[in-house]
Structure 1
Amino acid sequence: MQLTWVVGLLALCAVTLGCPAIVLRSQWGGRPPRSRAQLKTPAPYLIIHHTAGNRCTTPASCRRQVMAVQTLHMVTWGWSDIGYNFLIGEDGRVYGGRGWTTIGAHAKNWNDKSLGISFLGTFTETAPNAAALNAARRLIQCAASRGFLSYNYTLKGHRDVSPTDCPGDALYKVITQWPRFKDAAAACVALSALACGCPTIVTRAQWQARSPTGRTSLSTPVPYVIIHHTAGSSCTSQASCSQVVRGIQNYHMDSQGWSDISYNFLIGEDGRVYEGRGWTTRGAHATNWNSKSLGISFLGTFTNRVPNAAALNAATSLIQCAVSRGALSNSYTLKGHCNVGQTSCPGDALYKVITQWPNFKA
């Protein structure tokens, strides 16, 4: 009798505090976790994800999706439990994951200071429906009201703290308009490059660069980023890409007479970024534009084919990283080399791709 009264009181409090209905683990068929670590609350951050799988609009289909996510996380990835604290279905319900007081496994380097909420589905092209968005907003309000989320919390998308497209372009556009959203720029002052959404960058020392014969500082943040291709050999391993980058540097310094390799960064189809002149040195990649742009070049010739997904993802992550670090303006403009010079660079196939990227302008 007393237990029933307590449960009822807690339920009443949840409603009073603006909390949505939460489908318990036992109700969606959750497995017991193998272990758990206590989350110190109130957490200062809230991170939004999508599961990048199937969408669901009924309780039955959403339960199946949550069980599938838990199986992926525990069986395939070897985690102790489902990675998120809560999940949201387009049936308008919230599904309990690790809950309010257990550290999640949803955002590396951020799990011990955040709650992770994931929308069930893939939201790259379209946003979640109103029922799901309303449930998420109410859950955030509930978290703050109940003391699990700091009253002055910061809301971020997964892509703001890790090199990923999550929570999908369409959903990300929605959450940037929510209260207390803040991108990665401020966090980058104190956190590692990875936390700022930066891809793996192979340093000059690692690819065995020659020393430059001179350098001119680049005033940042610059307003432009210009995309190139090297119009030479492509590469798919760090060893082969390092060799190609060394060849380009030799050509630029010995044949062209430049002080260093011309680009600020180069991208290989091994999915790595290779440091050229870097963030703060003026490049020699686009006449009349070098003093106000970062030059990023894909290693290879991309007239008839596009770079692979690993290279394209590395490039978009690098651009995000540049903004986060303050090297590239928040309102930057992206261009192809052919937009600023008499050239076919970065190749017809690659150019077609970048015209669809954010902030492109011919």
Structure 2
Amino acid sequence: MEDIIKVEGVAKGYGKHQVLQNLDIAIKKGECFTLLGPSGCGKTVLIRLIAGHEVPDAGKIIIDETVVADSETGEYIPPERRGLGIVFQDYAVWPHMTVFENIAYPLKMEKRPKEEINELVMKMIEVVGMKGLDKRLPSELSGGQQQRVALARALVADPSVMLLDEPLSNLDANLREEMRFEIKALQRKFGITVLFVTHDQEVALAISDRLAIMDAKGKIRQIGNPYEIFEKPADLFVFKFMGIANFVHATEKNGKFYVGNGNQEIPWEGPKGNAAKWVAGFRPSDVEIHREGPGLKGIIHRANFLGATMDYAIDVDDQSLRTEIETHTAINNNLMFKEGEECYITFKALHWFDAEQLKEVEE
């Protein structure tokens, strides 16, 4: 697929605070591409640069083979001429306009014929599940319905790209889950390119074709599809950012690895070299818990019933880790542990990282 958005060597700062520096991203036509990172990492700044609400200090932005911003030549195309649909986290629907009027607004700005506006708006209202609500004001709608209006307004003019800046953050958990699937369905239905900004890992994994993971300094740590990001993290930052992470330090004695400073041999084949330089990383779902060996012997430090799952914190010698197990599986297999009980653990998968990286991430 060809690239529809290219960000080349872009930098942006405010006073002495440098938000983005020498940033490169290429987004393919028809994909859902997500910028994922902690709050304050520059995700929204980047989307505003692409939208045209900010001007880069350095670098170039190209949309659909047209240079829309170039710091060297001074080239700048305003937002309304970039052919983009934009949805922000606060919906930004006009409170004094009905559902119909809100969605029709961009078409009226383009001076489309009245009959065409009516046909396109009513079609879009049906697409987003708002049929029969066209005469309602935003104050008469739920948060999810207002977000659907914002999406419909962004889609109605058939933009080349949709920019979605934290569009689900103001919704409750159930609505967030519902809307993330609706956004993906709309993207597939219209074959549109979506640039999605979020700090929510679960949403990003659910809707993205590819993701770019950004760190707190605005640097891109990895770009890949959801599987690559989750299962093949480029570094410890990506691994830790993408969900609950366990880290166990190892000690090497006579060519064998041991847990922390304890005496239990780790049944893993670790990386070559000094074990003190390495830390093993794994998810709670990578840990299997048993009543009897083989495996590492541990003590249940904390047992939490979370409804569908049991969450355990386990002490193994001087190291601590978390695991989770489906409640029904735990009940059926006599794995409902109490605090203070002994257990044995084995591992499905793990990653080895430089221990120095862990210090950097935790600082």
TM-score, length basis structure 2: 0.29
Point out the structure with max Rg over C-alpha: 2
- Name whichever structure is richer in strand by fraction: 2
- Name whichever structure is richer in helix by fraction: 1
TM-score, length basis structure 1: 0.29
